[in-house]
Structures are given as structure tokens and as C-alpha cells.
Amino acid sequence: MYLDYFGLKEKPFSLSPDPRYLYYSRSHKEALAQMIYAATQDTGFMVLTGEVGTGKTILINALIKQFPNCSIANIVHSASNPEGLIRNICKEFRVDAATGPLDQLVLAHPVPRR
């Protein structure tokens, strides 16, 4: 409906924001720069927080686009307990999280993507 009526070339709305349309305000530039620094300096774990609608998801998508050959776990909804969070991380990295004690899951290696 929108494509024909407004003469658009692609759908204007999607569930996940497209980083091609990110407006790099000063705070967004700084946040992305810190995220890239953390990712390239082997810091291991990074958390991005902020109010609803401030651009967290589109910044994460922009970060993922910067590193197309890296494995990145994007945990959108954190679990209600530490074990659930670790199992979500394992799932994102394709570690068999269905079995095994928690301490072994933390030390497990991901299955290579095909």
C-alpha cells in the first residue's frame, strides 16, 4: 500500500531498524565508537542500555554490520535468571545448551556456522 501510494522503493517499516537509516547524532557516534572499541579490544562483554526509542537496536545493528565475519550474540530479552541468560548466549553461539551443567556451558566452544 505505501509503496505505490508514496512512490517508495522499499517498505518504510520493519521489525528491526535498518542501520542504513541511522542518524549519527553526537551521542550515537560516541556510543557506536565505544562499542567498536570494546569489540576490537577483546573486552569480552558489553551492555548497551537506554530509554525506549533512543536508538539502541539500530546501533547494535550498525555494530553487527561493521563486523560481518564475527560471531555476535544479541540478547534482546534477558532471561529471568543467570542460567537462562547463559543458555540464551549459548544458543546464539550455537553451543548445545540443552544439556550439561552450567559451569561446562560457560567453557564450551561454539559450533562453526555453515
Domain boundaries, the chain: 14-72, 78-114
In tens digits, the chain (114 residues) has pLDDT values of: 778 888 888 887 777 788 888 889 999 999 999 999 988 887 767 788 889 889 898 998 899 888 888 877 778 776 678 788 888 888 888 877 656 677 777 776 655 554
pLDDT at residue 110, as a whole number: 59
pLDDT at residue 31, as a whole number: 92
pLDDT at residue 101, as a whole number: 75
Q: How far apart are CA 21 and CA 19, in angstroms?
A: 5
pLDDT at residue 1, as a whole number: 73
DSSP codes of every residue in 89-110: HHHHTT---SSS-HHHHHH--P
